[in-house]
């Protein structure tokens, strides 16, 4: 699930880089106002594609980048859980041992502050004029940083999940090993002990038989 979100953010990153290229072009004084409007048309199309990707990215019906998992709280009381996603991996309901939450911030264009779906006061709202294009460069830098923070958080969560899996696997292996020692017979050890006891028994019987034959031998000599 996390890899799905990260892959989509990689595509969003490409769109933001293209928007920055367009803003750099529009910020140059050699372009006319009509040319900047054409540049802005592609700029807005890139912003719309960012929102489409964010809204379309889901895993098993759970939308990952549209803000559904960005809530501060989680509720699983209804048929559909709301807020940040709860990962439950333990056998009880102890928050310090059995589960934790995955929270993914909104990655739509409006949330990143780019394009004409963002607030009109957003620095990266448009590149239709030279002045707005220059401001957009600052806004796009902030949007890229916001996107990078989401990806960094996803990487940290993936590492944590991998560590959790490793810990659970070690616990399972040790539990299985302990159960096996209790319930399963060590055949090789038991056979060794059996043979050892059999040899001792046979030796004792031989010695006892020899001891019993001595009086008979003595009587035969006297007779």
Clarify whether residues 98 and 22 are in a common domain: yes
Tokens of 168: 């659970």
Tokens of 133: 């294009």
Q: Inform me whether the pLDDT recorded for 71 exceeds 80.
A: yes
Clarify whether residues 76 and 157 are in a common domain: yes
What domain range is 196 assigned to?
191-222
- Compute the distance between CA of residue 22 and CA of residue 17 in angstroms, rounded to an integer: 9
Q: The whole model's pTM is what?
A: 0.75
- In the 8-state DSSP scheme, what is residue 185? -
Clarify whether residues 47 and 139 are in a common domain: yes
Question: What's the pLDDT at 184?
Answer: 65
Residue 144 covered by a domain: yes
Q: Inform me whether the pLDDT recorded for 223 exceeds 70.
A: no
Clarify whether residues 206 and 104 are in a common domain: no
- Compute the distance between CA of residue 64 and CA of residue 2 in angstroms, rounded to an integer: 9
DSSP-H helix ranges across the chain: 2-26, 33-56, 109-112, 130-183, 187-222
Strand partners, 102: 85
Tokens of 87: 């990962």
- Compute the distance between CA of residue 220 and CA of residue 15 in angstroms, rounded to an integer: 114
Give yes or no for a contact between 103 and 69, defined as CB atoms under 8 angstroms apart: yes
Compute the average pLDDT of residues 120-131.
96
Residue 34: CATH number of its domain: 1.20.1330.10
**Crossing angle (nearest 10°) for helices 33-56 and 2-26:** 170
Residue 186 covered by a domain: no
Question: What's the pLDDT at 160?
Answer: 86
Q: Inform me whether the pLDDT recorded for 140 exceeds 90.
A: yes
**Crossing angle (nearest 10°) for helices 33-56 and 130-183:** 20
Compute the average pLDDT of residues 116-130.
96
31-56 pLDDT, tens digit per residue, is: 999 999 999 999 999 999 999 999 99
Compute the average pLDDT of residues 195-216.
77
Clarify whether residues 198 and 173 are in a common domain: no
Clarify whether residues 38 and 90 are in a common domain: yes
Q: Inform me whether the pLDDT recorded for 155 exceeds 90.
A: yes
Tokens of 201: 């028994």
pLDDT grade, residue 220 (50/70/90)?
A: low
Question: What's the pLDDT at 199?
Answer: 87
- Compute the distance between CA of residue 58 and CA of residue 61 in angstroms, rounded to an integer: 6
Residue 217 covered by a domain: yes
- Which residue bears the tokens 């017979």? 185
159-202 pLDDT, tens digit per residue, is: 988 888 888 888 788 888 877 776 666 667 777 888 888 888 88
- Which residue bears the tokens 């055949």? 187
Tokens of 138: 């600052």
75-116 pLDDT, tens digit per residue, is: 989 888 889 999 898 888 998 888 989 999 999 999 999 999
Give yes or no for a contact between 107 and 147, defined as CB atoms under 8 angstroms apart: yes
pLDDT grade, residue 26 (50/70/90)?
A: very high
Please report, for the chain, how many H helices and E strands are present, in that order. 5, 6
Window from 18-27, 97-106, 130-139, 159-168 with minimum mean pLDDT: 159-168
What CA dihedral angle connects 49, 55, 61 and 63, to 10 degrees? 120
């Amino acid at each position: 699930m996390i890899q799905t979100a990260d892959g989509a953010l990689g595509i969003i990153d490409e769109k933001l880089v293209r928007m920055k290229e367009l803003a750099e072009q529009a910020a140059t004084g050699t372009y006319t106002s009509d040319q900047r409007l054409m540049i802005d048309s592609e700029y807005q199309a890139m912003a719309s594609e960012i929102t489409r990707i964010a809204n379309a990215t889901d895993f098993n019906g759970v939308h990952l980048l549209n803000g559904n998992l960005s809530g501060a709280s989680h509720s699983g009381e209804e048929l559909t859980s709301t807020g940040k996603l709860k990962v439950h991996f333990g056998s009880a309901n102890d928050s310090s041992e059995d589960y934790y939450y995955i929270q993914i911030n909104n990655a739509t264009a409006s949330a990143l502050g780019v394009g004409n779906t963002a607030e009109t006061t957003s620095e990266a709202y448009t590149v239709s004029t030279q002045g707005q294009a220059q401001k957009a460069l600052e806004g796009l830098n902030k949007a890229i940083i916001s996107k990078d923070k989401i990806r960094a958080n996803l990487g940290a969560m993936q590492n944590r999940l991998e560590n959790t899996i490793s810990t659970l696997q070690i616990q399972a292996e040790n539990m299985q090993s302990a159960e096996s020692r209790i319930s399963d017979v060590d055949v090789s050890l038991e056979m060794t002990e059996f043979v050892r006891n059999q040899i001792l028994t046979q030796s004792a019987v031989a010695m006892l038989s020899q001891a019993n034959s001595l009086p008979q031998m003595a009587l035969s000599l006297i007779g």
